[in-house]
């Protein structure tokens, strides 16, 4: 009851004209930035921090939080329309959303992404309000061994994201792992796959890899096709979801909210793992007739991940506010902003600065509603992007992609890396190798290596720590079951050879 009263008090402060203005500016700027390739929430927040120096702490934090979840939605727009994710967590949306757009269903895809973002973000904020103490205890129960087991399971199950050849999916995972291992060894600082280049010593930026493997191959393919793909891309239909679309999206909304929120709680994982995990779950639980549509434009593959995407934002705020442990790179930057204003997130923040904290939380509820109101009427406008002739459209995509890549490091070296990886991605795509497993492998491998080494250091090199700790042992058992059971079922279904 105290939490509800505090939230209502925060709402009263958040609906003042000044704070409403900053919420609107935040979600608008976030949406625009999310659309631009490579310029995700962390880049936008980093660039705008200097503008908040002279602002009141409440107004500055409301603005930056609005940019955070606005950018998480904005990244889905170009993922759906032109298969160019604005940031990494939106990459999985391109799998089904782009196929829906190609078949004239860009409107429903954008609408379900907007609704899912609103549902996931709003429920996650309520979870932040009412479940923080319990969820913080759950998050702190995860040590290095548990994280390593969870990440290993996610890596092993990556190939289930795709239809088609399992072998090609595994090759794609190996490509992603090769990209993820580039840079200095995190423990011994030994260069790995850097080819003597100082620029590669810091590793490859994940946003750069996502742009190179999604935007560049798709742009090259359409530019090579010239006008042959125009009729298909111009066949836009309705700009809203049908009753059947709503029915199919309802359960993914619920599952995506839970998965995204829980993934956001785990420090270091954030919304990215939540969106990929949600897609894998939706594909597993789909009925056989719906499962066949995955990879060809299943609306469940947009609804679940997009809901998980924004729910992960609320989840990532829990350990940041309650424990001062960032749940993602963006919340790590927000942690710095809190400290810049002389505020220290942690257990005492809710007692020392309750008015500020609850106003920010309430502004997130308002911001999610504002995002929905702002973006649903614009679905028809976004869809018109598909009417641009493909040569002009994808030349523009390449231009924005290169601008985004340059903005990540302000180095022409990143443009060279983008082009090289993009050409590799194009070659893989043209030969039937799925690119999404490569993205997830590149994201997961550094985290897996880091936590694996930590667990072994803590246990003095004893590998049994992964099976003697209850949570990690349970996770490993579930992973083994998820890998072995489908193989056994597939073997039993094969007809006996006479």
**pLDDT tens per residue across span 401-443:** 888 778 777 788 888 888 999 899 899 888 888 877 787 788 7
**Tokens describing residue 479:** 């992973």
Q: Give percent of the chain above pLDDT 90.
A: 5
pLDDT at position 235 is 44
* CA–CA dist 224, 226 (Å, integer): 5
Mean pLDDT over 240-261 rounds to 89
**382 compared with 311, residue with greater pLDDT:** 311
Would you place residue 322 in the very low, low, confident or very high pLDDT band (cuts 50, 70, 90)? confident
Q: Nearest-5° angle of CA 106, CA 107, CA 109?
A: 65
- Prediction pTM value: 0.71
pLDDT in tens, 334-350: 877 887 888 877 767 77
Residue-wise pLDDT for 109-147, tens only, equals: 888 988 988 898 888 888 877 776 666 566 667 778 888
Across the range 376-400, mean pLDDT stands at: 75
Q: Check: CB of residue 476 under 8 Å from CB of residue 466.
A: yes
Q: Tell me what pLDDT residue 252 has.
A: 93
Q: Is the dihedral of CA 458, 461, 466, 470 positive or negative?
A: negative
Q: Is 369 left (phi over 0), alpha (psi -120 to 50) or beta?
A: alpha
Q: Is 278 helix (H, G, I), strand (E, B) or coil?
A: helix
Evaluate if residue 228 carries a pLDDT over 80: no
Lowest mean pLDDT segment, chosen from 34-48, 188-202, 291-305, 374-388: 34-48
Task: Look at 384 and 69; give whichever has higher pLDDT.
Answer: 69
Tell me how far the alpha carbon of residue 30 is from its chain's centroid. 15
**Over the chain, what is the mean pLDDT?**
79
What distance in Å separates the CA atoms of residue 25 and residue 28, rounded to the nearest whole number? 5
Instruction: For residue 230, name the pLDDT band (cuts at 50, 70, 90).
Output: very low
By three-state DSSP, how is residue 186 classified? Answer: coil
Residue 381 pLDDT: 75
SS3 of 135, please?
Answer: helix
Q: Residues near 108 by Cβ (< 8 Å), separated by ≥ 6?
A: 100, 238, 239, 240, 241, 242, 245, 299
Q: What is the pLDDT of residue 342?
A: 82
pLDDT at 494 over 80: no
pLDDT the model gives residue 253:
94
pLDDT of residue 161 exceeding 60, the answer is no
Alpha helices in 144-227 (DSSP H): 144-156, 166-180, 206-210, 216-225
pLDDT for 43 beyond 70: no
pLDDT at res. 164: 62
Hey, what are 173's tokens?
């995972």
Determine the number of helices (DSSP H) and then strands (DSSP E) in the chain.
25, 2
- What's the pLDDT tens digit per position in 51-109? 777 788 888 889 988 888 888 788 788 788 877 776 667 778 888 888 888 888 888 88
């Amino acid at each position: 009851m105290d939490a509800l009263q505090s939230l209502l008090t925060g709402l009263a402060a958040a609906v003042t004209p000044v704070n409403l203005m900053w919420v609107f500016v935040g979600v608008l700027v976030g949406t625009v930035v999310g659309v631009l390739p490579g310029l995700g929430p962390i880049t936008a927040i980093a660039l705008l921090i200097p503008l908040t120096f002279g602002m009141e702490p409440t107004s500055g934090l409301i603005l930056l939080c609005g940019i955070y979840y606005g950018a998480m939605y904005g990244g889905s727009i170009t993922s759906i329309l032109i298969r160019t994710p604005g940031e990494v967590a939106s990459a999985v949306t391109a799998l089904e959303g782009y196929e829906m757009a190609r078949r004239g269903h860009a409107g429903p895809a954008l609408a379900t992404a907007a609704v899912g973002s609103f549902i996931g973000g709003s429920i996650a904020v309520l979870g932040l309000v009412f479940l923080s103490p319990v969820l913080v205890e759950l998050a702190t129960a995860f040590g290095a061994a548990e994280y390593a087991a969870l990440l290993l399971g996610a890596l092993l199950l990556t190939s289930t994201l795709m239809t088609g050849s399992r072998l090609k999916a595994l090759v794609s995972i190996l490509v992603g792992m090769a990209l993820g291992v580039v840079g200095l060894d995190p423990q011994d600082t030994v260069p790995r796959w850097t080819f003597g280049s100082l620029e590669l010593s810091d590793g490859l930026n994940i946003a750069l890899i996502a742009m190179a493997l999604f935007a560049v191959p798709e742009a090259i393919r359409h530019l090579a096709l010239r006008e042959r793909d125009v009729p298909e891309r111009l066949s836009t239909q309705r700009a809203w979801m049908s009753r059947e679309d709503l029915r199919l999206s309802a359960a993914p909304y619920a599952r995506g909210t839970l998965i995204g929120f829980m993934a956001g709680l785990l420090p270091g994982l954030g919304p990215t793992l939540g969106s990929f995990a949600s897609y894998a779950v939706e594909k597993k639980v789909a009925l056989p007739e719906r499962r066949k549509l995955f990879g060809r434009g299943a609306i469940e593959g947009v609804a679940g991940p997009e809901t998980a995407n924004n729910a992960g934002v609320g989840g990532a705020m829990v350990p940041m506010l309650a424990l001062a442990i960032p749940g993602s790179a963006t919340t790590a930057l927000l942690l710095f902003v809190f400290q810049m204003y002389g505020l220290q997130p942690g257990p005492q923040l809710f007692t020392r600065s309750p008015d500020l904290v609850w106003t920010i939380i309430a502004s997130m509820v308002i911001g999610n509603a504002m995002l929905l109101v702002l973006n649903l009427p614009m679905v028809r406008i976004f869809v018109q992007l598909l009417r641009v002739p493909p040569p002009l459209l994808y030349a523009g995509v390449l231009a924005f992609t290169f601008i985004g890549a340059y903005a990540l490091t302000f180095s022409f070296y990143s443009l060279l890396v983008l082009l090289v990886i993009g050409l590799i991605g194009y070659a893989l795509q043209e030969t039937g190798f799925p690119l999404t497993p490569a993205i997830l492998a590149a994201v997961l491998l550094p985290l897996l290596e880091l936590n694996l080494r930590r667990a072994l250091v803590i246990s003095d090199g004893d590998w049994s720590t992964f099976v003697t700790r209850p949570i990690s042992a349970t996770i490993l058992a579930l992973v083994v079951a998820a890998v072995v059971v489908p193989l056994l079922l597939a073997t039993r279904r094969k007809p006996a050879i006479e």
